[in-house]
Amino acid sequence: MANFLPRLVASCNERPLCLIRVLIGAACLLVLVVVWHDLIVSARANERAEVERVRTEAGIQVRAASDTVQASIDRFDFALRTASAAAKAGPEALALQGRIVTEALPADLVLQLFHIDADGYLSYSSLGAAPRNYLGDRDYFETLAADEGEQLVVSNPVLGRLTNKWSIQIARAVKRDGRFEGVVSIAVSPEVWMAQLRRYRHSPGDTLTLLSADGHYLLRTLDSADYFGKQVPLDRPFLLQREQVEGDFVAWGSNDGIERLFSWIRLPSGLIMVSGIALDDALAATRAFNRWSLIRTIVSTSLILLATGALIVALARYESVVRALGEREAHYRKVLDNMAEGILVIDPDDRIVSINPAFSTITGYREQEVKGRTPEMLSPTYAGARNLGAIIRSHASDRWADDFDGLHRSGDTYTGHALLSTVRDAGGVQRIVMLSDVTERRRKDAEIWRQANYDPLTGLPNRALMTDRLERMIGKARRNLACVVVLFIDLDQFKPVNDRFGHELGDLLLNEVARRLEVLFRDEDTVARIGGDEFVVLMSGEDAVGAGERSAERVVDSLSRPFVIDEHVLEISCSVGIARFPDDACDAAALLHQADLAMYRAKERGRATWSV
């Protein structure tokens, strides 16, 4: 900061409009900071206020729903107490009390009132006589059988074994002088009870849920009966803080993934009523208002920035244009001077106008030595040389690239690569040539190509190059209605020599075989080693048919003569197979295969011979 201020003051002194632009920019930023701060604060305050309203609404909703549910439970409990007394009085009293209870309570809500004896079997149902049904394994029966007090049990939804319908059992124990004599229970329809709670919802995403003390779903105004048997996540506050009577929290719904504000209250019966209001629905209007405020602020900000930017650009235009021109020229000159490629500019009369330092490094010529001269001077004059000047004149396109033979000022030659671009402006047409020395690169390319296409031991074409040449010869023969002959040569008795004298002498022998084969054939023929002690010869032409047999005889005769290598006299022979295009096959692979088969036929005939 200590160095920044002096530099800023000095810059403003040198450029008077700089201070004005800085002040305008600072004022614009200050205004925008204030506007956006107010927007963010207002949006957060609006959303907080709406969340508080939703929290209040959820609290009112859960209290109203809990009062309704508790009132229903109290009615059921009163009916169960009278039914318990009737059960102790006898079957007739229980049947009478069952009719009274079912008539007094809503028929669609109460499915039945029934009694289970101490042994766990259904002894009475308000629905009438029913098959003998064991219910002693129900959770509510086991809980009441083990309870020593006067507990009211509200069961999780159960599926009736006879009715095949879901119901919630509200049950009490029947005791006589403290002795357990069974259970009376009211089966309540969860769908009907749930329908009573739906009138408290405000939007489709809101939910009212009645839970057991351990968090299992009893009633839920969403998802129909899909929740039966399920439990809420164990991290809910009403399960973690069981001494707390009521509260609220924000969470994602475990069944549908909707974010809600939940308000809950613990009923005297131990059940938990939970009201959940979907925040996306409840906050939709507030968020829409905040989005509209954001859009207006973005538009206002854009207009302010546009006006401020236009003013700053107008003040700086003249100054920046002049400075940019000077900097651009210096930049381009620096780029050209530091390029690794040589640059020369040629005018419409094919005269060199200018060069860069890299050009002098590549060619050895300084600018004063080449300026005004033609590019011909950059190439040697021997016959067949690729002259740079001639190449430039022969290309009329706006852009091309080609190799040329270069001549260094010292007299050394090199392989160069030129990339030409044509520039047209008010001054006419100028050509820009970018030069580079690619001697080493081309040498490596040629070496890589040779390694990929020639056998490293004998220097003969390998299988890949041989196959390529064969395909080309077949294509030409097919067009000219000519013939192609393939000789497949396999050495006889080579393995014993290799095993006896070693691989080094074996390699020398293979080299001698290659030399003898090269002597036997024309330059336009191909002699290739395709692996091990196998060689292939390709011939084409009008007389190739007769030449095949004659050549095979010469090969057998030549390779059957002794070889003298490192004072060792080695005697081997060969078997030759002959195949012709188009008589024996119509493509390269098939032709080689036929020649290979013919070679094996020659071996079967006793070796040191040939076969077709």
Burial class (CB in 10 A: 0-12, 13-18, 19+), 346: buried
Separation between Cα atoms, residue 30 and residue 118, nearest integer Å: 83
**Which residues of 37-178 form beta strands (DSSP E)?**
110-116, 122-125, 153-154, 158-159, 166-176
In sequence order, what are the beta bridge partners of 113? 186
Supply the Cα-derived Rg of the chain in whole angstroms.
Answer: 51
Separation between Cα atoms, residue 559 and residue 513, nearest integer Å: 7
Q: Which amino acid is at 387?
A: N
Q: How far is CA 580 from CA 45, 513, 594, in A?
A: 93, 24, 9
**Which residues of 117-256 form beta strands (DSSP E)?**
122-125, 153-154, 158-159, 166-176, 179-188, 207-211, 217-220, 246-252
| Cβ atoms within 10 Å, residue 600 | 14
Burial class (CB in 10 A: 0-12, 13-18, 19+), 531: exposed
β-pairing, 399-407 vs 568-570, is unpaired
Q: What token pair was written down for 171?
A: 């049950």
**Which residues of 281-407 form beta strands (DSSP E)?**
342-346, 352-355, 399-407
The reply to whether omega before 6 is within 30° of 0 (cis) is: no
**What φ, ψ does residue 191 adopt, rounded to 5°?**
-65, -45
| Cβ atoms within 10 Å, residue 88 | 15
Q: What token pair was written down for 463?
A: 């299988």
Q: How far is CA 83 from CA 96, 102, 116, 576, in A?
A: 9, 11, 12, 113
Q: Is 135:153 a contact under the CB 8 Å cutoff?
A: no
Q: Is 433:343 a contact under the CB 8 Å cutoff?
A: yes
Vertex 563: Cα angle to 561 and 569 (nearest 5): 110
| Cβ atoms within 10 Å, residue 110 | 24
Q: What token pair was written down for 504?
A: 């080094």
β-pairing, 610-611 vs 573-581, is parallel
- Residue 584 annotated among the catalytic residues of the structure: no
Which 3-state string (H, E, C) describes 247-291? EEEEEECCCCCCEEEEEEEECCCCCEEEEEEEHHHHCHHHHHHHH
Q: What token pair was written down for 478?
A: 């097919």
Measuring CA to CA, which residue among 431, 372, 435 is closest to residue 396?
A: 431
Question: What three-state secondary structure class fits 498?
Answer: helix
Q: Is 440:362 a contact under the CB 8 Å cutoff?
A: no
Q: Say which of 223, 533, 543, 587 is annotated catalytic.
A: 533
Length in residues, the chain: 612
The residues annotated with a catalytic role in the active site are 533
